[in-house]
Structure 1
């Protein structure tokens, strides 16, 4: 325990990671959160990084729930949340078979195609029309989001693949995502405990980083509340594109 908490490289990697995840949790470009585990993995294994980050995510979720209280889309949650529970269960059952690098590669590919599709629509149609709601697609992407969130804390891109084209008010979209991932992360605690991810070292590291979490989350919420939709959506798609490239690179480098 002492070795990790006194290692300067741990703080050099973990502090920026927590800040980026906090900004994401506050609503500032959901894709920022995907940098958390890869950044922390510079100083430790990805599995340990994910375990340390989960309690911090729970704290950020509590701050985000307070920041965005009363602002959400009930129907979107109803259509995606059951699938997320199925995805978490699938992640638990296949935890020994599916690696975080495999998930990064798959999620990166999906997110990259998603952004290319959006760019095509912008060029051809101007991108002003909201997509129609589809319960089947909502359940599917909710399941994918739950699975990838469990394995590598990268549930954001699958959630956004379905939610972003609906073109909700940025505040409503952010508030809905906050509730979706707060529930998802709380449920993930059970299988993470069962898989032995929360030892004394990891919990102590989580505690050391927690003071940063509320400040970064509140900062993200403050910025999003001041963003116009015509700024918010291009910014969010751009951050999804950047992290898609990062996920593809990291996943391919480890698997190939």
Structure 2
């Protein structure tokens, strides 16, 4: 298959945005990437083309963030994430992707708006209090993240809803996010193969886009290292708001 120039006109910026997200600049870019590619290929094919690219990006990001992690947060989220992927695979033919996007988008928008409203009420000199690890909440949000990741590559907002209130330092936050989604994407390979979405055509298209993926991931990883917490957290919550609005729009449009 030889895609026309229109395919690459959409695919190159889509992959670049996802790469910046994988590098550490938040989930909103990733959520924009797949719908952008879906403008020129069927949505399921767009998701399948992205999966091998995401895995390569994960490898690059894991190397970049190998020294940074919150082990307790990662271990708290993983069981739910794995359950979410299993649930997504089991119900993929029954639950509308649009309905899932609608739910995730609504939760994310409310969550982000709550942060900005509370921040506006507080003195700029008062640092928000970090919440402790909560196993039950981690399982709930981890499951939603795994499910959203499987059905729509949209696992970022639930992950952020749980992790951002923990107030991890930016490097630990990014390293934990990198590890969590690397594991999620690796697990998704088997279900995607079982659904017949990782054939030679889609894998070939993925391979042509890998250089863009690698460069953009490294750029994202470099940029986030220079962000202070006072800049990083408003930026991340802003990304959640944008991501949630995009999911909400896609969900309503698809119903």
Relative to the length of structure 1, the TM-score reads 0.95
**Secondary structure of 2:40's partner?**
coil
Q: Give me the whole-angstrom Cα distance separating, in 1, the residues matched to 2:100 and 2:159.
A: 15
State the partner residue of 1:117: 114
Corresponding residue for residue 159 of structure 2: 159
Name the structure 1 match of 2:132. 132
8 Å contact 2:145–2:159 — kept in the other structure? yes
Matched, 1:86 2:53: no
Whole-angstrom CA distance in 2 between matches of 1:210 and 1:187:
20
* Alpha-carbon distance between aligned partners in 2 of 1:239 and 1:77, rounded to the nearest angstrom: 21
CA distance in 1, matches of 2:232, 2:18: 18
Q: What are the Cα deviations for residues 168-192 of structure 1, in whole angstroms up to 9, with x where unaligned?
A: 1001000000000000000000100
Q: The residue matched to 2:165 in structure 1 has which SS?
A: helix
1:242 aligns with 2:228: no
Show structure 2 runs of 5+ residues with no match. none
The residue correspondences of 1:140-219 to structure 2 (distance < 5 A) are 140-219=140-219
Q: Is the 8 A contact 2:21 2:28 kept in 1?
A: yes
Q: Distance in 2 between the 1:216 and 1:182 partners?
A: 17
Distance 1:140 1:128 in 2: 23
Residue pair 1:46, 1:100 contacting (<8 A) in 2 also: no
Distance 1:52 1:110 in 2: 28
- Tell whether the 8 Å contact from 1:148 to 1:155 is kept in structure 2 after alignment: yes
CA deviations over 1:57-83 (Å, ceiling 9, x no partner): 000000000000020000001110011
Provide, for residues 91-145 of structure 1, a one-character-per-residue CA deviation record: whole Å limited to 9, x for no partner. Answer: 0000111232222211111110111221232133456211222110011100110
C-alpha distance in 1 between matches for 2:77 and 2:247: 24
Q: Distance in 1 between matches of 2:239 and 2:173?
A: 16
- Aligned residue in 1 for 2:17: 20
Residue 27 of structure 1 aligns to a residue in which SS? helix
Match of residue 39 from structure 2: 42
Tell me the matched-pair count.
252
Which SS does the other structure have where 2:231 is aligned? Answer: helix
Of 122-131 and 166-175, the range deviating more from structure 2 = 122-131
Equivalence for 2:48: 51
What secondary structure sits across from 1:77 in the alignment? helix
The structural deviation recorded for 1:211 is 1.2
Conserved in 2, the CA contact under 8 Å of 1:84 and 1:144? yes
1:101 paired residue among 98, 108, 119: 98
Cα RMSD of the aligned pairs, angstroms, is 1.1
- Asked if 1 retains the 8 angstrom alpha-carbon contact of 2:27 and 2:243, the reply is no
**1:230 and 2:230 are equivalent in the alignment:** yes
Shift of 1:45: 1.3
Is there any run of 5+ residues in structure 1 with no aligned partner, and where?
Answer: none
